[in-house]
Amino acid sequence: MQKAEFWQERLELLRHPEGGWFRETWRTAESLPFSDGAPCTSPRSCATAIYYLLEAGDRSTLHRIRSDELWLWHAGDPLRISVFPGGEGTPSSFTLGPDPLSGNELQGVVAAGDWFGAAPPSPGLSGYTLVSCVVAPGFEFRDFAFAKREELIARFPLHRGIIENLT
């Protein structure tokens, strides 16, 4: 079984501002024009993809983007993604991982505008989780916003522990 350091070196991963390690692997050559009132206010690549690795103890802190994001599990421990709706709705979660009999999914989607974060089990068996994330329309850091802990706790007080853990 490979260790996190193997994947960090092999995939040439860099530290990610939200936590963990990443590298963009694909960005479409084509872009989509957007105007006022659209999810984005300037042209975006049709889609982008990254490798993303979290080690035990790492967190993908709660954040949101203006695009849908597809998560795909590759290796390591399961990964729980917690989702808090940007609009009306109820918080939810899904767990990526290798074992569908334990409730794991191989892929899951977070809708544009929803707040979300992720954490692997600690310590876990492998000590890391490796996934890919595909974003459409393509990811741009200017569309990225960190959640404000107190605002989310005020909206979702029953989920205070999860919010505190992921902010």
- For the ranges 30-39, 89-98, 115-124, the lowest mean pLDDT is seen at 30-39
pLDDT above 80 (res 34)? no
How large is the average pLDDT for residues 60-69? 96
Question: For residue range 6-17, what is the model confidence (pLDDT) as tens digits?
Answer: 999 999 999 998
What pLDDT band is residue 90 in, cutting at 50, 70 and 90?
very high
pLDDT above 70 (res 41)? no
In the block, tokens 């959640």 appear at 147
Give the domain ranges of the chain. 4-165
Q: Which CATH class is domain 4-165?
A: mainly beta
What pLDDT band is residue 35 in, cutting at 50, 70 and 90?
low
pLDDT above 70 (res 45)? yes
